[in-house]
Amino acid sequence: MKSAPDVLQPLLSHLLASGAQARHLSDQLAPVSMILVEADAWLGVARSAHALDFRWVGVWADDLRTDPTSAATFHVNACFEKTGAYLVARTTISGDHPALASHTPVYAGADRPERHVHDLLGIVFQNHPDTRRWCRHQAWSADQFPLRRDFIQADAIAPTPADHSYNFLLAQGTGVDEIPVGPVHAGIIEPGHFRFQAVGETVLRLEERLAYTHKGIEKIAQGRDAAGLARLAGRVSGDSTVAHTWAACQAMERAAGLELPKRAYHLRALLCERERIANHLGDMGAMLNDIGFAFGAMQFSRLREIWQRMSHDVFGHRFMMDCIVPGGVAHDLEPRFEASLRVQADAVREQIKRLMAIINDLPSVTDRVRGAGILQPEHARALGCLGYVGRASGHSVDVRRDAPYAPYDQLEVAVPLHHYGDVNARARVRLEEMAASFDLIEALLDDLPAGAHNTPWVAPTAECEGLGLVEGWRGEIMTYVRFGADGRLACFFPRDPSWTTWPALELLIHDNIVPDFPVCNKSVNGSYSGADL
Amino acid sequence: MLRILGKIQRIGILTEPVAVSDEPALTEVGEQLRQHIGARFHGSLAIREVDAGSCNGCELEIQMLGNPYYSIERFGVHFVASPRFADMLLVTGPVSRHMEEALRRTYAATPEPRLVIAVGDCGACGGEFGVSYASCGAVSNVIPVDAVIPGCPPTPLALMRGILQAIQARPQG
């Protein structure tokens, strides 16, 4: 991490000057800093952070009880970041009707995350501009809170009815059509509901209704051991299995104060960069498919297939699932495969170059992607958009560069930045990110340390906690863990970057035509599962 | 245009003619698929894929069936947008409670006789997620299932084999 005090001190001073009660804590979430604040200073924290240009990273809460019959006490945490210095603000509230000021009026990106916390823990965020439920549909009632320790799971649950009563915003007027889409979509993709209001072909408004794949991940994590949590984290979003497992393991290892052999970090990064390339290859093909350019779609899907086959041959799984484990990686890289990985990286890099020389020359392609789905830089910034979505709209965040964790602290990470914010810019960023990842794979293999690929996992004592921060292919993943007794997890919260880009899709589709929605959506490609939890 | 044609010619036909590593020949599975689809479905098997709550890993592999290596369409298998003209539902799970009713309705909208395959470990048995306040677990806990394709996620070849077994098991007629 960068010298956090230089960045954080002004925030603390600002906060104290505003009369807030705050106490600085240095090491509980090390290397991330944490401050404890009184509940009535909660809004002040967001205001001070916003005034000093901090980014809002996420919010999560934790029912601290070990005895479910005792009175409820919650930790509520919000994370902020500026130039790689991360700060967690924490407050403690209690009672059956806990309430806290909403950060949403200050940070627009806090909207759905706060509603998620409310639906699962019953914490009311006061002055939240949108009081509708978010991750709750009809599977549990408004007075039940699944993440509270006294939540009682019914033995037999009646069939869950469809969610008819959600109040979508309505557009009224002559010539406004409403187009409901989903949750079962036409393609082989994840479920969600999109409510379009259109005038002719032009989209006036899009409203998303997600959480159809809500599986209760935070709840079923509780009581798992470290290895079990790593497996679960690897299934938060299947396409980001490596990055999510890494973030969860990093959080657990920070909680346990466990240092890994250098080789383990290198191998993790190798897996993660391969995952980034696999997904960008797939999405490039899918974007070209969505504009009806079958040649490009087939070429990129071909490259993705050979890439995944190599992952299977070298790491034993086409998506490299469960390759990262607490303490390191599950299997060592056999020396005979080092050359294969290099040769493939070179070959695929060259293939992309040749393909793009053809594709860039076709007006029928460029016409469709230039100027389509523009996300304005100020919107990207306001929502804290991560990954390629932010980087295509002038908002550059990359944990590998800003708060480098091993092995990126030893590597130069090139982070592309574009400003126009359209589908074309997002595609450019993805291509440039692939180029950077090919360089990283080469550097990682050049400098692969000898030695062990893992170290035995040693569970920390109860109450140890950690925050993992990993740059997945969609952007920064923030994962919080707190251990309970016997090395078992008491709290797990993975914040997928899709939380920040789903709201961006609603904005960038405005004034585009309905037939351009698929390519606009694919250029963003939020994870449903990753954000639904 | 010339460059596109040039590229197509240089890459040639990738569609897998022989065995893939230790897997049995793809064409063997494919040819059997073609024969059985010919005999039982007049040469065309229409599949509606339903993600009923998966982590999206299964979807990625099902999508891969369309890439030039597997090219499952050549055997007469088509993925369709509506259950109303589907012969088969390929359902991934675990079935989240929020998708429960949507899955039931998709099943009801599929004309009989319909085949349902539960895909992946989660669809087969609930996988890492099991049954909870938010998850119904296995697909068979919600709708009748004819066959399962285990795997986390199943590879494209395992998917093809599973589809083949499911239609083989179906009475001819």
Residue B74 lies in a domain: yes
Residue A209 host element (H or E): strand A202-209
Strand order in the sheet with B77-79: B77-79, B45-51, B88-92, B115-119, B147-149
What's the mean pLDDT in A249-264? 97
C-alpha distances out from residue A55 to A1, A3, A107, B33, Å: 16, 17, 9, 54
Residue B122 lies in a domain: yes
Verify whether the Cβ–Cβ distance B97 to A139 is below 8 Å: yes
C-alpha–C-alpha distance, residues A411 and A406, integer Å:
9
Q: Which residue of A has its CA nearest to B99?
A: A212
Query: What pLDDT score was predicted for residue B19?
Result: 46
- Residues of A within 8 A of B14 (CB-CB) are 302
Average confidence score pLDDT of chain B: 90
Query: What pLDDT score was predicted for residue A18?
Result: 78
Q: What is the pLDDT of residues A159-172, one digit of tens each?
A: 999 998 999 988 88
Q: What is the pLDDT of residues A6-54, one digit of tens each?
A: 888 888 888 888 777 777 666 789 899 999 999 999 999 999 999 999 9
What's the mean pLDDT in B88-96? 96
Question: Is there a contact between A160 and B97 (Cβ–Cβ < 8 Å)?
Answer: yes
DSSP A14: H
Under 8 Å CB-to-CB from B172, ≥6 apart: which residues? B39, B40
Has residue B103 got a pLDDT over 70?
A: yes
If one counts the domains in chain B, the total is: 1
Indicate the angle between helix axes A498-508 and A111-121, nearest 10 degrees: 130
Confidence of residue A472 (pLDDT cuts 50, 70, 90): very high
Query: What pLDDT score was predicted for residue B64?
Result: 96
| Tokens standing for residue A64 | 């601290």
Has residue B17 got a pLDDT over 60?
A: no
C-alpha–C-alpha distance, residues A86 and A83, integer Å:
8
| Interface predicted TM-score (ipTM) of this complex, two decimals | 0.95
DSSP A408: G
Q: What is the pLDDT of residues B33-81, one digit of tens each?
A: 999 999 889 999 999 999 999 999 999 999 999 999 999 999 999 999 9
Residue B69 lies in a domain: yes
C-alpha–C-alpha distance, residues A358 and A356, integer Å:
5
B73 and A CB contact within 8 Å: no
- Identify the residue among B133, B141, B159, B163 best suited for mutation to test binding to A, counting A beta carbons within 10 A and taking the highest: B133
Query: What pLDDT score was predicted for residue B166?
Result: 93
Confidence of residue A489 (pLDDT cuts 50, 70, 90): very high
Q: Is A225 helix (H, G, I), strand (E, B) or coil?
A: coil
| Tokens standing for residue A282 | 């797939």
Q: What is the pLDDT of residues A71-129, one digit of tens each?
A: 999 999 999 999 999 999 999 999 888 999 999 999 999 999 999 999 999 999 999 99
Residues 327-366 of A with CB under 8 A from B: 354-355, 357-358, 361
What's the mean pLDDT in A489-502? 98
CATH topology match: A4-126 vs A217-532: no
Verify whether the Cβ–Cβ distance B128 to A232 is below 8 Å: yes
Residues 388-427 of A with CB under 8 A from B: none
CB pairs under 8 A between A and B: 166
The residue behind tokens 């967001």 is A46
Residue in B4, B56, B69 closest to A238 by CB: B56
What residue spans define the domains of chain A?
4-126, 217-532
| Tokens standing for residue A500 | 């920040």
Q: What is the pLDDT of residues A182-237, one digit of tens each?
A: 899 888 999 999 999 999 999 999 999 999 999 999 999 999 999 999 999 999 99
Residue in A214, A236, A238 closest to B98 by CB: A214
| Tokens standing for residue B41 | 């479905």
Residue in B3, B14, B66 closest to A358 by CB: B3
Verify whether the Cβ–Cβ distance B59 to A215 is below 8 Å: no
Residue type, A428: R
Q: Which CATH architecture has domain A4-126?
A: 2-Layer Sandwich (3.30)
C-alpha–C-alpha distance, residues A187 and A191, integer Å:
10
What's the mean pLDDT in A461-490? 97
Which is higher by pLDDT, A6 or A274? A274
Please report which residue ranges of chain B form alpha helices under DSSP H.
Answer: 2-11, 26-41, 57-64, 100-109, 120-125, 156-169
Question: Is there a contact between B34 and B75 (Cβ–Cβ < 8 Å)?
Answer: yes
Q: Which CATH architecture has domain A217-532?
A: Orthogonal Bundle (1.10)
Query: What pLDDT score was predicted for residue B21?
Result: 45
C-alpha distances out from residue B24 to B28, B29, B30, B60, B161, Å: 8, 8, 11, 22, 10
Q: What is the pLDDT of residues A129-156, one digit of tens each?
A: 999 999 999 999 999 999 999 998 876 7
Residue B82 lies in domain: 25-169
Q: Could you give the percent of chain A with pLDDT greater than 90? A: 90
Query: What pLDDT score was predicted for residue B16?
Result: 65
Stated length of chain B: 173
Residue in A184, A186, A220 closest to B129 by CB: A220
Query: What pLDDT score was predicted for residue B173?
Result: 54
Q: Is A189 helix (H, G, I), strand (E, B) or coil?
A: coil
Residue B17 lies in a domain: no
Instruction: Of A419-433, B11-25, B86-100, B102-116, give the lowest mean pLDDT range.
Output: B11-25
C-alpha–C-alpha distance, residues B147 and B47, integer Å:
14
Has residue B24 got a pLDDT over 70?
A: no
Q: Which residue of A has its CA nearest to B2?
A: A358
CA R_g for chain A: 23
Q: DSSP for A101-134?
A: E-STTT-GGGHHHHHHHHHHH--EEET-S--S-S
Residue B104 lies in a domain: yes
Verify whether the Cβ–Cβ distance A219 to B133 is below 8 Å: yes
How far does B43 lie from chain A, in Å, by closest CA? 22
Has residue B121 got a pLDDT over 90?
A: yes
Residue B20 lies in a domain: no
Query: What pLDDT score was predicted for residue B162?
Result: 95
- CATH number of domain containing B101: 3.40.50.12280
Average confidence score pLDDT of chain A: 94
A300 and B CB contact within 8 Å: no
Query: What pLDDT score was predicted for residue A25?
Result: 67
Query: What pLDDT score was predicted for residue A81?
Result: 96
- Residues of B within 8 A of A238 (CB-CB) are 54-60, 153
Q: Which residue of B has its CA nearest to A162?
A: B101
